[in-house]
Structure 1
């Protein structure tokens, strides 16, 4: 009984050290200090300086260590800059100390207004998922889909920075204020709304709100037949540009007119298909393909539906079932999409992704380049191009693409994760650590709003392992496995965690299970720096041969 208070005090101190990021600072300082001492011991003797000079450098590094620890305890660095740490928060009833809390429901985030990205003076906007007022959860796909389509129209305007779907949809169903949303996503304005659908009629209410004043810039209610939904989206996009005082060229004015299809039923099937594309499971990819095919039955010239089929097969190949049949179907559908609409950036990006999974890298690079030329704000084009360069081992180029993706969508954690991985492959340790720490903050924020996102949980585990927080990382890894122990993507990512943690046997066990379950991206396996520990292992080499 007498030891419990002491143990509790130690546990509290350790939790507080982690919360204040002192552990990370110690790890970073140790790396930097070792580097400085090594350089000094090598260079200073050649400069004919006194013998005690190297000793002085060592002493200064040691003294600096204590100063760094004190500063890390007292101050914090976040997106809003350097500020004094306010001290420990009052613990919640769950008593969970870690900032990543995947098992608990998330409270609304307490965020501060972050400055816009440097050297980007464009006006910016976030499109929140419209609220489904139909009283039928089955119509959720429709309200989400309309929101995403408006977002996609606005993304085509180079004068406007639009928060990505991944970033803005984390607020779905959350009770947060517009200033909070704008601060989190670093935007000037927020579009929100609601949709009520009844039979062939739809009622859409939209309002554009200025973040600084929390006042309306524009609002409108549309009560029309379903066949008029395209005109409604066009009118909303045009009204937003007028309210933000953005002058459009004739080409840009045409770009925000939704002309992908004129068939309302085809469009409905397309939206249903898109709603299945975000869980990253084989079952839902198959559902998405079925919906896209139904859209094509209604409109055989629907290029975006073909692009959707291509994306579904490409993702299924990468994450669930790496069969030659899936790769071939992705190529066929993407080719059809480009043939139907060669000026569609989305179709070009889908074609690039299909070429990437087929390891036709020159063609993939060409298609991603065309997609970026057609729409410089298309996040997927930069992100997929970065993945393709990583698979080829061209890490300098992948760094460039990931940085571009982060410019387009600063709050999306995915490119930050792979940026750190690319820096690791280039042995740029300082840049790697900065990217890793940045990705952890982005994932923490994402998981706070989406605690049941298993892929993000996997990514969190891996990044925590990379910065030396193995206990927290292990907790995340075990949680992810408990949720989806048979998903190839989860098995692969947790295998990476155990490889980085030094447990090669368990890592290989999980990798073998991932391959048995359908994982088969050999090129990624060969270049993934997270698996460097396994390179010379006979089991790993045998696994590569199996995939080949």
Structure 2
């Protein structure tokens, strides 16, 4: 029998193992930094460019009667330039604010942390009430590709979609809707930065630990929970978790009748601000009280309507309108239901069915929404969008301005104001709106993309490229979490084509076209890609198909810089003339 090693021998072996692990870990960190700082991409790009330059030199220097040593000089200059290029890519990065020194040597600019595996009830947590039935949560995983929270002095939070624990899977709309409503209440607080629904709901049904989620969304805290609904009873569990320690700041369980759901949401929002030690003004305290309706039936139909608003298809917009109208049957003063109908008609007009009747219906219902609640920022933004699609731009701008004054954190107020300015060719004003939208939601790729497009329209090439590079990173992050988002695939392809990555962009746009070949929005954005590429025939063919299937935003067609290559073609003008 072999003799057991002594303690000293064990210690030596352990040290060797630890040293090997540290070496491997250090090498992995080094590789991560090479990727993050785009050193590998720069090296490959430099090598390709150098090869092309040498081919040009070989082909042209002799006919130009240049000295024999000229080609050798070019070769040496390229060799000497290689380490300079690598050094610059390691030290500097292009950001929306300009060229900046790259952050410290940690993957994705974030700190390497050991995620806590302590249970929720461990010492050091600050739960203010009895610990509830916890929502299912996966074990911690590897460190995420972190996004550093903006240093703007605000606290930050992501609201994950609450888990549907009901026996009836059709109650998914209810659990998602409650989560979104809590998010919408928190958005009203200027000193709290809230991750957008699109970003946080991308984690629905996915295996991800709280530190991973917080790292990817760039927030300090995460709210998660579960909902169990049975008839007129509802059990809601909620817990606020601090990402850095993976421990509870607050948690509670509510077992009430469905009619009490409004009070539950108010209490959750208030408890979150208390846990984050935020002192609210009386106005802010009133803003996070859900007073839109007191009718549980109306609210239920409203949540059903909201669940149809995110697929961007005509069929689902029609379903949403039907649900919102049922909500109004229960409560004919429900301003948000009227605003929901208006938004559905506006989106339908812009993206899937450009009939004038849809634009008129958007105006009608948005006016009723504002009449019901003139102090609602959401109703004002809905009214502005309806006026925008009806080309009543000055009135739209006024509504967006009032919405932003009522709730500076309302992304739609800034984003749609930017679109309205772009449609008029007022690109300087549009740039300011897109920047505001990006401040409200730094992870949103849309405002960053349109910012680059506005700079392109003004001929500001340097600013355009900075914005486009920034938007590509956001789009890639979004597609990673939402791989079936055809609109993001199209927009990503267009941005890649604008920075010269045509082959990669074409793969992306063709994938979107396969999935959404009958969607006017996909056809339109695909046409933009081929116009940028220089394939005018393909671009016009896709544009004609988009208009035939329902695209009808004439003002946007007239000002979209992505279509500059086909703008002088008679077929393009004929296409404009065909739109009422």
Tell me, yes or no, whether TM beats 0.5. yes
Aligned ranges 1:188-203 → 2 under 5 Å: 188-203=220-235
How far is the alpha carbon of 1:19 from its aligned partner?
8.8
* Residues 483, 364 of structure 1: alpha-carbon distance in 2 compared, 3 angstrom cutoff: same
* Residues 441, 221 of structure 1: alpha-carbon distance in 2 compared, 3 angstrom cutoff: same
* Residues 26, 147 of structure 1: alpha-carbon distance in 2 compared, 3 angstrom cutoff: farther
Instruction: Identify the range of structure 1 (109-118 vs 15-24) with the bigger mean alpha-carbon deviation.
Output: 15-24
* Residues 417, 502 of structure 1: alpha-carbon distance in 2 compared, 3 angstrom cutoff: same
Larger Rg over CA atoms: 2
* Residues 542, 256 of structure 1: alpha-carbon distance in 2 compared, 3 angstrom cutoff: same
Q: Secondary structure at the match of 2:521?
A: helix
How far is the alpha carbon of 1:383 from its aligned partner?
0.6
Matched, 1:131 2:163: yes
* Residues 85, 512 of structure 1: alpha-carbon distance in 2 compared, 3 angstrom cutoff: farther
Decide whether the 8 Å contact of 2:46 with 2:82 is kept in 1: no
* Residues 534, 60 of structure 1: alpha-carbon distance in 2 compared, 3 angstrom cutoff: farther
Equivalent residue, structure 1, for 2:467: 435
Q: Secondary structure at the match of 1:20?
A: helix
Q: What CA deviation, in whole Å up to 9, does each residue of 1:41-94 have, x standing for no partner?
A: xxxxxxxxxxxxxxxxx99997886345434776785999446699xxxxxxxx
With CA pairs under 8 Å and 6+ residues apart, which has the higher RCO, 1 or 2? 1
Matched, 1:253 2:270: no
Aligned ranges 1:71-470 → 2 under 5 Å: 71=87, 77=93, 81-82=102-103, 111-118=144-151, 120-470=152-502
Matched, 1:66 2:82: yes
* Residues 281, 19 of structure 1: alpha-carbon distance in 2 compared, 3 angstrom cutoff: farther
What CA distance in whole angstroms lies between the structure 1 residues aligned with 2:381 and 2:366?
9
Equivalent residue, structure 2, for 1:534: 566
Decide whether the 8 Å contact of 2:536 with 2:565 is kept in 1: yes
Which 5+ residue runs of structure 2 have no aligned equivalent?
1-34, 51-73, 96-100, 108-140
Decide whether the 8 Å contact of 1:330 with 1:354 is kept in 2: yes
Decide whether the 8 Å contact of 1:21 with 1:72 is kept in 2: no
* Residues 351, 63 of structure 1: alpha-carbon distance in 2 compared, 3 angstrom cutoff: farther
How far is the alpha carbon of 1:429 from its aligned partner?
1.1
Decide whether the 8 Å contact of 1:205 with 1:222 is kept in 2: yes
* Residues 67, 360 of structure 1: alpha-carbon distance in 2 compared, 3 angstrom cutoff: farther
How far is the alpha carbon of 1:113 from its aligned partner?
3.8
Q: Secondary structure at the match of 1:339?
A: helix
Decide whether the 8 Å contact of 1:74 with 1:85 is kept in 2: no
What CA distance in whole angstroms lies between the structure 2 residues aligned with 1:64 and 1:126?
48
Matched, 1:482 2:514: yes
Decide whether the 8 Å contact of 2:236 with 2:255 is kept in 1: yes
* Residues 65, 219 of structure 1: alpha-carbon distance in 2 compared, 3 angstrom cutoff: same
What CA distance in whole angstroms lies between the structure 1 residues aligned with 2:420 and 2:76?
44
What CA distance in whole angstroms lies between the structure 2 residues aligned with 1:495 and 1:185?
32
What CA distance in whole angstroms lies between the structure 2 residues aligned with 1:441 and 1:253?
37
Q: What CA deviation, in whole Å up to 9, does each residue of 1:358-415 have, x standing for no partner?
A: 0100000000000000001001111111111110111111111111111111111111
Matched, 1:21 2:41: yes
Decide whether the 8 Å contact of 2:177 with 2:306 is kept in 1: yes
What CA distance in whole angstroms lies between the structure 2 residues aligned with 1:370 and 1:175?
41
Q: Secondary structure at the match of 1:209?
A: strand
What CA distance in whole angstroms lies between the structure 2 residues aligned with 1:156 and 1:540?
43
Decide whether the 8 Å contact of 1:17 with 1:23 is kept in 2: no
What CA distance in whole angstroms lies between the structure 2 residues aligned with 1:68 and 1:143?
54
Q: What CA deviation, in whole Å up to 9, does each residue of 1:192-223 have, x standing for no partner?
A: 11111111111100000112221100000001
Q: Secondary structure at the match of 2:144?
A: coil
Equivalent residue, structure 2, for 1:500: 532
* Residues 20, 172 of structure 1: alpha-carbon distance in 2 compared, 3 angstrom cutoff: farther
Q: What CA deviation, in whole Å up to 9, does each residue of 1:311-340 have, x standing for no partner?
A: 000000100111110000000000000000
What CA distance in whole angstroms lies between the structure 2 residues aligned with 1:301 and 1:336?
9
How far is the alpha carbon of 1:115 from its aligned partner?
2.6
What CA distance in whole angstroms lies between the structure 2 residues aligned with 1:64 and 1:496?
40
TM-score normalised per structure 2: 0.79
Decide whether the 8 Å contact of 2:385 with 2:396 is kept in 1: yes
Decide whether the 8 Å contact of 2:381 with 2:399 is kept in 1: yes
How far is the alpha carbon of 1:135 from its aligned partner?
3.2
